[in-house]
Structure 1
């Protein structure tokens, strides 16, 4: 800030000198108002600036020359923009000194100064021309005093890209002459946006800045600064004392110097004080009284304090020493306390500016219940050498931290642009002992803008770090080795190697472009066992409906490659993993992403953008994937009504496609799978949804609307598909075989699987050829109809027998699906012996069937037994199918078949009373039927003499006789 105050003083001073020159011209004229034009022209010719004088100029001639100006303004160099202006000024000159080219000025009074000071990018300023020296200006000046009131200055620094506003400036000086101290008393208010600054400054004292003789003086100095500076608020700084310095002669005098500074740093109350009663460095002597520096920080119940004392100095500028530098530190944070002490001898040489702390030793004690032993101890020993003239610092260090040994050396060259070289080694570090087991605090949301690492532009460093073993939490790091380099353009760690648990890591890390950091990496990891880093309850939290917050990725600017030899997670084994990452704050990409996962080779490109509402994009290629191996039994076969959780879909925004050479899912095997996905606004569309399967192919689409109650629409066409193997693999059902086309167009809605089944609506159709219905043999039943018919037995249900099958050459059917029930009334199945039509319902929600199939015998079966069935031509055999999907039942109504045969064909062969008897039998009058079949009456009782005849065989029962008669009639 001193630099900007200097610019302000120089700029305003140049303006004041110009005013003095103008007054000299005015004093030499009788009526200066008659010469305003000439005065303006004079300034324009000499300084290439436009001077504007408003109102009349008032003169005084005795005893002093003087002028009273009104409003005056001065333009920028060779421009019309205002550089400076005043509301009024009064200046008086002594007459006689002018004859000796001496300028003796009475008190200069200036009110309402306004000035715009600019430092350009090339380092020049907009007032350089006002300070230029001319040979004709060899004039001594002597000013009795300067009083400036209500001044304001705007400072613009194009080099540092900063802007300051100084206002409410009031300045008063005593006698001003070249090479003499000046009594100064000033107050001002200063404001800046970057860095944040809003403070009031008061400065008072007897000051001298003699740059020509390199002598600087401040006596009776009193400085007060109040306000806010950067992150510090409630700042209160006070400085007082006497300081005199002749740097080139190595002479310094400090008396009664005191500094105190208090402020609030983001809730931390800071207090710094410095007390230097007396410090003298003269030609042959160096001496001082004890210098004390104290620092205190308080935040709630947490405290930290540090004290530093430099004992008395004795000696000469060529060699002085102190009995020692000593210090103490103390702190408290929660249950943790900290206490330490340090001390060292101190020697120096002001001429060579070499200083040494040959043995800076100390110790630190930490007490904390969270530490394994409740406490930790550390000790250190440093040898520090400072060469201020050469701008070099060298430190050798050794430290012991709770059983860990650290050693190393640090060398620094250059104070303005420091270059650091270092080598640090530690045999072991147990951070659990040092940091304890405090529970991790919840992480605050990361800032959505890149970190400002511009400070690294000034860091020049190179060194090595080697740590034998490092333990933190449950992580064990060993053989850590790194070479670090910073050159102002990049910060790199290369090479880097370490073993973390069972994983060996090698590669490089770095940061470039510090204004907007670019993080770069190139890492190889031989193997990772992810199970040891994943908690047992990972993923147990229920999903919420909020989109993932990836806004922190706006701050990420990264590029790199990661290679992993093998990765184990649960039962999944991956190898040959490669991920190339690129992030620019707008998009995060992993391209390529490749890996061998179990038996699958994956090649993909993945990306996420629009981080506030993430948009995912992907392109995935997998040679083969057995998805069933990744589904647990509870996932693959849920019991009861399974809830449908589509919360992730509501916030999903994604687009991409996946191609799989071979896929097994739910035991269904497909190949050449191609799925395109688009998700936005709670809706997901999978299109195309295509694959080759079971000698055929499928193509269609899937749409899910999860904005409120989930609505699912599924359209699919299968061509040339062998449905038998498909049903066996999909639902373990072997009831149907054949090859052909299946079309499905359905919509459903609900929050559970059962609800989805019961709300199915749409249509389906199938067209199969050369297949079979398994579990029933209709053709066999027709062939064996003779032995099957028993008019005395009722109909019965027969369970499915998978060894039986009904073959067909063609089968077509369409279904109208409403509220989970699929209705069919156009079944058409062709077989060599029969044709089948039918109608009925399939209740998908209840997984049950109620269907009546009607096979009709046709004359198409040739060969053995074919001619014998001519009598059955046109006969319809009702086949009732009921039961559940897993246990269907088939009911072939053989009694009905017998009735049909008797009525439609066999009666033609029977006449008279026998025909009537059969009709009675079919009508239920068994007694009458038997009477008719036996001759129309009962057999007469045998005569008495006949009873004595030779014995005969017992007569057949009436039922047996009826059967024989019927068999004869039917030709059986």
Structure 2
């Protein structure tokens, strides 16, 4: 007991000595007395001027130092603003823990902190001199000391830090090199007591502004963090809110909120059980939407920072958008997927992807490689059946009136996509597209988007084009047809065609267009550098196979066109009925054509038309005009007789009709025009000037007696005579003269000579009127 009492007396004595010593220091030491020495030392080490208005020390209950109105001058050559200035600095440490080599630091208080960071036009910063001074000091430190402190956390193992309290701070970054200025104002940063192995709170808020482009934002961050002695850390209850506006963003205002319940980083493995990002965007003047509001959630996310591999079990995005361009003013967009990303292997996978936009739902999978370089993307997409007409109406896309109102109501598609960014190549494989009753399958590809190289092989089972055309409306008989521009300009994407390379084939099982019903259609298109060729274009139509070879050349100043065809067993009547809505001519035979032209307008097409055409028809007729009946009526009137009415079809039959023409600069010259009818032989010669839309033609009809056909016995007495028909004038309504007078004067009897002139004129007018009607039927 005596020993214990002795020890107690010694301790009390020591404490008394310490208290007396502290009292003497407080009473006798004024830190302001050393202010000049401190500022001088800073000047010597940094070349900067340190100013402190007041300094004070306190020893109870903690050892602490207080500074007020302190500032450090800027580097030479920069602005006059201080590099850093602080209204109040306070930091302290508990005394007794220091006796047991433990450091318990009070909250570091920095009020009115202002930090001015600058970079001049030469790229020099206003802290370069401070970094250089530090580097020189570090160079002279003992290397052995570095080896002893390989883990800096060991040095701080006994640290207990009361936290940080920064209020009304300001940070300015003025970059003269990029003419960019960033300012943080009203900066507040606080933290709870920091102890290894325990969570502590952090709160940060500030108003920021950026110039060129001008962007303003205010943000607040709240979280809890834990720091381990081995350097590992964890974050939980992270909440971030940010509102941004300004001319530098395409919207009026964007607000985001992030909630992260927990965050862990252990052995360089990142773990996020869940993450939620809420966003609320208000569109600007030129932004297509009024508002975008929604949430992005991330579930079961893990990432290894060493292997750079990241996985997310689920990513969900839901957005509500509004605006005048949105159907009914609003719409919902949804996305759901999982993700597997490996940055070292440069691969990314979205194995379960679903996208919903309005009434459209698509699902599939995406696999990408070389994602940090020349990305290669493979995707499989399935679009569920939807009402395309309703979807387009929702998108406020006005559809033209269609004959079938149930068209575009069934749409579905599935396809594979391969995209290579290196050569800008896009491939569509295994395409299956269904539209109403039509089904399109095949493959397609395009590469080098600036100079497109297009390849495709597509098959369409059937299509009824009439369903998608405007309904035909009955017009009153006397209503004139609307006249289109007779010399309209044909617009072609010339620059694109000059860059384009194409090689593709499309096959169509059967199609309906107006009165045409072709089957087994095959169209192969090849071309490059402004020259395109369609060869073949073939189809089963008009009970035969039509074969066409067409070309387009835009390499010169004026587009050039070419068409070749050689078709046998062609029913010309059905062709005219389908294309010209006229059946004035019938017969079956061969049609050949090899025609070229050039130009941008119809008038130029006519002027530059060159080539040959050949038609050979058998067993046909010119409908609406019966030349045999007209001659019989003429003979009867000359004899003072009247023929009884007949039910004979008003047409002129022929057993053979051959036309062989050459076209030069739009002028059609006849090499041969001949026809054989039961009672006559026809030969013609002349020209048709397409640019001037005129013709000058002479057709000679030689009467040949026959026992059969339209002539029969009525023409035996006219055997060997020739009837000339002259056609001259406008192509659409030529003047037609029929020289029946010379014919009748040869055969007329003397007793009816007085009636000849009257009868000839009457018959001639009748025949000419019928011929004009025939020409109108062909719609020249």
1:747 aligns with 596
Displacement of 1:413: 1.9
1:606 aligns with 444
1:723 matched to 2:572? The reply is yes
Q: Deviations over 1:389-427 (max 9, x none)?
A: 372413213456679865332423236x3423241235x
Asked if 2 retains the 8 angstrom alpha-carbon contact of 1:464 and 1:482, the reply is yes
Displacement of 1:471: 3.6
Displacement of 1:296: 5.2
Asked if 2 retains the 8 angstrom alpha-carbon contact of 1:430 and 1:470, the reply is no
For the residue of structure 2 that corresponds to 1:639, the secondary structure is coil
Displacement of 1:851: 3.0
Unaligned runs of 5+ in 1: 1-218, 225-255, 263-270, 301-314, 441-453, 538-568, 792-801, 907-914, 925-972
1:382 matched to 2:223? The reply is yes
1:838 matched to 2:704? The reply is no
CA 744–889 in structure 1, closer or farther in 2 if over 3 Å, else same:
same
- CA distance in structure 1 between the aligned counterparts of 2:747 and 2:305, rounded to whole angstroms: 105
CA 785–455 in structure 1, closer or farther in 2 if over 3 Å, else same:
farther
Match of 2:270 among 409, 413, 419: 419
CA 328–605 in structure 1, closer or farther in 2 if over 3 Å, else same:
farther
Displacement of 1:830: 1.7
Displacement of 1:588: 2.2
* Bigger Rg over Cα: 1
Q: TM-score, normalised by structure 2?
A: 0.61
Displacement of 1:892: 3.5
Alignment of 1:479-558 (within 5 A): 480-488=335-343, 489=345, 490-493=347-350, 495-509=352-366, 511-516=368-373, 517-526=375-384, 527=386, 529=391
1:622 aligns with 460
Displacement of 1:754: 1.8
CA 757–455 in structure 1, closer or farther in 2 if over 3 Å, else same:
farther
1:582 aligns with 418
Displacement of 1:826: 2.5
2:653 aligns with 807
Asked if 1 retains the 8 angstrom alpha-carbon contact of 2:232 and 2:266, the reply is yes
Asked if 2 retains the 8 angstrom alpha-carbon contact of 1:760 and 1:818, the reply is yes
CA 718–460 in structure 1, closer or farther in 2 if over 3 Å, else same:
closer
Match of 2:197 among 341, 354, 357: 354
Match of 2:102 among 280, 284, 291: 284
Asked if 1 retains the 8 angstrom alpha-carbon contact of 2:381 and 2:416, the reply is no
CA 396–524 in structure 1, closer or farther in 2 if over 3 Å, else same:
farther
- CA distance in structure 2 between the aligned counterparts of 1:273 and 1:509, rounded to whole angstroms: 52
2:312 aligns with 462
CA 839–495 in structure 1, closer or farther in 2 if over 3 Å, else same:
same
Asked if 2 retains the 8 angstrom alpha-carbon contact of 1:457 and 1:514, the reply is no
379-388 or 654-663, which moves further after superposition? Answer: 379-388
Asked if 1 retains the 8 angstrom alpha-carbon contact of 2:670 and 2:687, the reply is yes
CA 460–637 in structure 1, closer or farther in 2 if over 3 Å, else same:
farther
- CA distance in structure 2 between the aligned counterparts of 1:220 and 1:337, rounded to whole angstroms: 28
Q: TM-score, normalised by structure 1?
A: 0.50
Alignment of 1:107-256 (within 5 A): none
Q: Deviations over 1:667-707 (max 9, x none)?
A: 64432222222222221122123222211222242222222
- CA distance in structure 2 between the aligned counterparts of 1:740 and 1:334, rounded to whole angstroms: 81
1:431 aligns with 281
- CA distance in structure 2 between the aligned counterparts of 1:701 and 1:511, rounded to whole angstroms: 43
- CA distance in structure 2 between the aligned counterparts of 1:614 and 1:823, rounded to whole angstroms: 43
For the residue of structure 2 that corresponds to 1:624, the secondary structure is strand
Asked if 1 retains the 8 angstrom alpha-carbon contact of 2:568 and 2:589, the reply is yes
Asked if 1 retains the 8 angstrom alpha-carbon contact of 2:190 and 2:202, the reply is yes
Match of 2:236 among 385, 388, 395: 395
1:662 matched to 2:510? The reply is yes
2:162 aligns with 321
Displacement of 1:664: 5.1
Q: Deviations over 1:847-901 (max 9, x none)?
A: 5544332222222244898334321222223334456665567544332321232
2:540 aligns with 692
2:490 aligns with 644
Displacement of 1:582: 1.1
- CA distance in structure 1 between the aligned counterparts of 2:109 and 2:309, rounded to whole angstroms: 34
Asked if 1 retains the 8 angstrom alpha-carbon contact of 2:321 and 2:332, the reply is yes
Asked if 1 retains the 8 angstrom alpha-carbon contact of 2:544 and 2:570, the reply is yes
For the residue of structure 2 that corresponds to 1:644, the secondary structure is coil
- CA distance in structure 2 between the aligned counterparts of 1:734 and 1:272, rounded to whole angstroms: 96
CA 604–748 in structure 1, closer or farther in 2 if over 3 Å, else same:
same
Q: Deviations over 1:633-685 (max 9, x none)?
A: 9xx98412122333143332212222222345686443222222222222112
CA 519–844 in structure 1, closer or farther in 2 if over 3 Å, else same:
same
2:744 aligns with 898
- CA distance in structure 2 between the aligned counterparts of 1:222 and 1:536, rounded to whole angstroms: 76
Asked if 2 retains the 8 angstrom alpha-carbon contact of 1:325 and 1:343, the reply is yes
- CA distance in structure 2 between the aligned counterparts of 1:363 and 1:610, rounded to whole angstroms: 48
2:501 aligns with 653
For the residue of structure 1 that corresponds to 2:570, the secondary structure is strand
2:705 aligns with 859
For the residue of structure 2 that corresponds to 1:874, the secondary structure is coil
Asked if 2 retains the 8 angstrom alpha-carbon contact of 1:828 and 1:838, the reply is yes
CA 259–809 in structure 1, closer or farther in 2 if over 3 Å, else same:
farther
Displacement of 1:578: 2.3
Displacement of 1:727: 1.0
506-515 or 837-846, which moves further after superposition? Answer: 506-515
1:408 aligns with 260
Displacement of 1:322: 1.8
Match of 2:613 among 757, 764, 772: 764
Displacement of 1:287: 3.4
Q: Deviations over 1:764-823 (max 9, x none)?
A: 1111111111231112223333235499xxxxxxxxxx9721111221121121221222
Asked if 2 retains the 8 angstrom alpha-carbon contact of 1:666 and 1:730, the reply is no
Displacement of 1:532: 6.6
2:766 aligns with none
The structure, 1 or 2, with the larger RCO (C-alpha pairs under 8 Å, 6+ apart) is 2
For the residue of structure 2 that corresponds to 1:878, the secondary structure is strand
Asked if 2 retains the 8 angstrom alpha-carbon contact of 1:683 and 1:707, the reply is yes
2:526 aligns with 678
For the residue of structure 2 that corresponds to 1:830, the secondary structure is strand
- CA distance in structure 1 between the aligned counterparts of 2:228 and 2:704, rounded to whole angstroms: 117
CA 900–273 in structure 1, closer or farther in 2 if over 3 Å, else same:
farther
- CA distance in structure 2 between the aligned counterparts of 1:525 and 1:299, rounded to whole angstroms: 56
Asked if 1 retains the 8 angstrom alpha-carbon contact of 2:570 and 2:590, the reply is yes
